[in-house]
Amino acid sequence: MPGINSIIGKKLGMTQVFSDAGKCKPVTAIEAGPCKITQVKAVTPDGYNGVQLGFGQAKRLNAAEKGHLEDIGQFKYLREIRLDAIEDLKPGDTIDVSLFKPGDKVDVIGISKGKGFAGVVKRHHFHGGPKTHGQSDRQRAPGAIGSTTTPGHVWKGMKMAGHLGHGRVTARNLEVYSADTARNILLIEGAVPGAKNGLVIVQKSHKGS
């Protein structure tokens, strides 16, 4: 569909395929769409061009959601994407896997797996302290985190232990291996962010265009 460059999907997991030359390739299977346009936004009055896409069947909607979606459908997920142009796009239009073809370069956006609280060795790949010469508890410690009189405090942004993962991650410039329009399945070479059944957004890569 003209103007549309993205689709919402669900990560199904990873598998492997063999090329015609017999080379094994790791691929990620994504259930991409079908999505429906639930809202169209324009420079006037919204300040930018874009569309809101709906994906997945919701069991129930509250009153505000029913009013917003009207008769378009019941969607579990709503996501907005920015566009350069919105000509010929209207609420109710369907977006499916036919948006992509083998060989296309895409960016995949997802939420990475959460790993809880992690130390600096795992979180920031610190080397840790010496393993000998009298010390007994410095193997995975961060070391000094600040100076004394000047500046007298710990700098903002200091790499320390803390929450690892569960953040928005974009895997860029991946190649589409196949697009199955009958089953709405995309096979994308390599790994994409997130766990199985996690929500992802697949969009055409500007770098690969």
Show me where the domains of the chain are located.
Answer: 6-114+165-204
Residue whose C-alpha is closest to residue 93's, from 154, 33, 153, 160: 33
Residue 3 pLDDT > 80: no
Task: Report pLDDT for 148.
Answer: 82
Q: Check residue 1 and give its pLDDT.
A: 55
Better pLDDT: 15 or 1: 15
Q: Is the pLDDT of residue 90 over 80?
A: yes
Q: In the predicted model, what is the mean pLDDT of residues 88-95?
A: 86
Going by pLDDT thresholds of 50, 70 and 90, the confidence category of residue 24 is very high
Query: Strand pairing partners for 82?
Result: 50
Q: Tell me, what's the pLDDT at 156?
A: 92
Q: Give me the percent of the chain exceeding a pLDDT of 90.
A: 56
Q: Which amino acid is at 26?
A: P
**What integer pLDDT is reported at residue 83 of this predicted model?**
87
In the predicted structure, residue 205 carries a pLDDT above the cut 70: yes
User: Which pLDDT band, with edges at 50, 70 and 90, does 186 fall under?
Assistant: very high
Provide DSSP, 65-85.
HHHHHTTS--EEEEEEEE-S-
Mean pLDDT of the chain: 90
CB atoms within 10 A of CB 54: 25
Per-residue pLDDT band for 2 (boundaries 50, 70, 90) equals: low
pLDDT at 187 exceeding the cut of 90: yes
- The strand pairing partners of 29, in sequence order, are 13, 187
Does the structure show a pLDDT above 60 at 34?
A: yes
Alpha-carbon dihedral of residues 77, 35, 48, 64, nearest 10 degrees? -40
Q: Find the Cα–Cα–Cα–Cα dihedral 64, 69, 70, 73, rounded to 10°.
A: -130
Q: Tell me, what's the pLDDT at 9?
A: 94
Work out the average pLDDT over 28-47.
90
- For 92-130, write each residue's pLDDT tens digit: 888 899 899 999 999 999 999 999 999 999 999 999 888
pLDDT-above-70 percentage for the chain: 98
Inform me whether the pLDDT recorded for 207 exceeds 80. no
pLDDT at 145 over 80: yes
Specify whether domain 6-114+165-204 bears CATH 3.40.50.2030: no
